[in-house]
Amino acid sequence: MTGSFQQLAQCEKPREKFLHHGPAAVTDQDLLAILLRTGIKGHSVMDVARSMLRSLPGENLYYLSEANVADLQSIRGVGADKAVTICAAAELGRRISRQRAKQTAPDFSTPGAIAAYVMEDMRFLHQEQFSAIYLSTKNKLIAVKSLTVGTINASLAKAREVFRWALQYNAAAVVLLHNHPSGDPEPSHDDIVVTERIVQAGHIMEIPVLDHIIIGDGTYVSLCERGYV
């Protein structure tokens, strides 16, 4: 009887489950427990991991990337070290996602490839962020540059700022980006007007603006596909 109990306890340990059965066998709670490593007096590491999941909207691990160190420290049993570990894991996931998108996309002139690359960085931003992607002659990624934060009509980077970096990077083309914190990527009148102005400046500079992509919550709109570029 004792042996059976010990075997059951061993199987329930998330680290052993991961080792014996592989990553697909562990739950979201198990993964958090592995990162947290230890619990606190009266609460096991699985209890703390469960509390962390319950703090997320819909208990969906997807929203962990929105949490910062202070948010996580508000959970009983999560100190600074544990909070930093979880936030670092979320950031690592974002960077892996970006690199996967970069490596699998044949080029960055397609809206889908660009949206996939920036989605996890931009979809959860609480303010509008206006950025530009700079491309080589073969539409390979050179750099992504954040230019302004705020509403697109109030704090939009001037066209000269967009093309100043294009010249610095020796870019052959530019793609404009910004997010809608509401999650709805439908373009506003200001979005369209600003796009047209910067596209015109690109014609003068002989550095074409290929697109302006608006990022929502898991969705995007390409103003090129809508016929505005």
pLDDT digits (tens, 9 = 90+) for 32-44: 999 999 999 889 9
* Other Cβ atoms within 10 Å of 49 Cβ, number: 26
In Å, how far are 46, 70, 164, 174 from 99, measured between CA atoms? 32, 28, 26, 20
CA-wise closest residue to 148 among 134, 127, 164: 127
**pLDDT in the model for residue 103:** 66
The reported pTM is 0.61
- Are 140 and 172 within 8 A, CB to CB? no
Kindly state the DSSP code that residue 43 receives in the 8-state scheme. B
Q: What confidence tier does 171 reach under pLDDT thresholds 50, 70, 90?
A: very high
Specify the pairing of strand 220-222 against strand 173-179: unpaired
Cα–Cα distance measured from residue 86 to residue 79, given in angstroms and rounded to the nearest whole number:
11
In Å, how far are 95, 104, 110 from 100, measured between CA atoms? 9, 6, 16
**pLDDT above 60 for 176:** yes
Cα–Cα distance measured from residue 44 to residue 54, given in angstroms and rounded to the nearest whole number:
15
Q: Does domain 107-222 have CATH number 3.40.140.10?
A: yes
Three-class DSSP category at 145: strand
CA 83 to chain centre: 19
User: Burial level of 154, CB count in 10 A (0-12/13-18/19+)?
Assistant: exposed
**pLDDT in the model for residue 7:** 41
Q: What confidence tier does 104 reach under pLDDT thresholds 50, 70, 90?
A: low
CA-wise closest residue to 212 among 135, 115, 94, 124: 115
* More confident position, 41 or 5: 41
Please state the rounded mean pLDDT for residues 110-120.
89
Cα–Cα distance measured from residue 5 to residue 8, given in angstroms and rounded to the nearest whole number:
5
